Structure 1
Amino acid sequence: MRNSNILLVDSCKADFENVKKAFNEIDVKFTLHVAQNDTEAWLMLQGDNKISPIPKIVLIDINEESVNGINLLNKIRIHPDLKSILVFVITRTDNERNKAAALNLNIAGYMHKPDDSKKMTDFFSILNDYWNIIEFSSEKK
């Protein structure tokens, strides 16, 4: 998945700094875009600030207070150009209602965020290995 766009939706600045650090440590070839809430993320997917090419992967913490993640997931899943995006929910908090709703929207995985930077690096190393063996459409959007 070299040279692809990834969108991270998370309102916690420390978390997205840790994600960036982990990606750099494992040498992911990526352009990481960060949105602090669902509205900003949607604008990056379909608004004036649209990311090009469309991200192949979205990482989202649907349980953050300022992120209406289920609403964003619904919009992604019904949009013809976005519905094939791999969405991973990565969160620290348990919310069974959100978990069930996200799983029903065909997310690629629901995982707990690691607590420290070493675990974060290991976590994203595993995800990176997965992203590098799966096939993505070569169609440009």
Structure 2
Amino acid sequence: MSDGIDGDPAQILLVEDNPGDVRLTQEAFKEGQIDNDLHVVEDGVEALDFLFKRGEYADAPCPDIVLLDLNLPRKNGDEVLEEMRADETLQYVPVVVLTSSEAQEDVVKSYELNANAYLTKPVDPVDFIEVVQSFEQFWLSIVRLPECEE
């Protein structure tokens, strides 16, 4: 089994409010070849608390990569991305938008906010798992990620 950065498990933050998509993502990472710790939060406010180490997330690790849904309660994915990119310590953390939206304006807006990639969630569970595993292979095996500045 491969490891994340520096031989440690890859730290992945999944920001997703749909329990079915969370379950499929967990399953895909469990079946994958990369040693990882998958952290899950359900809305944009919780995501920012995790990223900025506030409240119950004071000891949260800095993620190697963030998988971000756009349609979230309390704060949407665009707002999370905007706050991340405005912060010195989080601006270089790779963010992959993983959403059901195929709307061109969502794609454009995500890239304007400096998302690193935009993936549309397939409806079919088998295809969904395949997309997540492709993401895992590319982003955690091939791409060199920046190290977090804690």
Instruction: Return closer, same or farther for 1:103/1:138 CA change in 2, 3 Å cut-off.
Output: closer
* Alignment partners' CA distance in 2, 1:75 and 1:36: 17
Residue equivalent to 1:5: 11
**Which residue among 129, 135, 146 is the counterpart of 1:121?**
129
- Is the CA contact 1:63–1:98 (under 8 Å) kept in the aligned structure 2? no
Q: Alpha-carbon deviation of 1:65? A: 5.2
Q: Alpha-carbon deviation of 1:118? A: 1.6
C-alpha deviations, 1:40-93, integer Å up to 9, x for none? 011111112145430011111113455511111010001111000111111112
Q: Alpha-carbon deviation of 1:129? A: 1.7
**Which residue among 88, 108, 113 is the counterpart of 2:116?**
108
Identity percentage over the alignment?
Answer: 26
Local SS of the residue matching 2:17: coil
In structure 2, the gaps of 5 or more residues are none
TM-score (norm 2): 0.84
Instruction: Return closer, same or farther for 1:115/1:75 CA change in 2, 3 Å cut-off.
Output: same
In structure 1, the gaps of 5 or more residues are none
* Alignment partners' CA distance in 2, 1:51 and 1:101: 31
* Alignment partners' CA distance in 2, 1:38 and 1:27: 29
- Is the CA contact 2:94–2:145 (under 8 Å) kept in the aligned structure 1? no
TM-score (norm 1): 0.89
Instruction: Return closer, same or farther for 1:73/1:139 CA change in 2, 3 Å cut-off.
Output: closer
Q: Does 1:137 align with 2:120?
A: no
Matches within 5 A, 1:1-141: 2=4, 3-46=9-52, 47-48=54-55, 49-50=57-58, 52-64=60-72, 67-131=75-139, 132-138=141-147, 140-141=149-150
Instruction: Return closer, same or farther for 1:86/1:117 CA change in 2, 3 Å cut-off.
Output: same
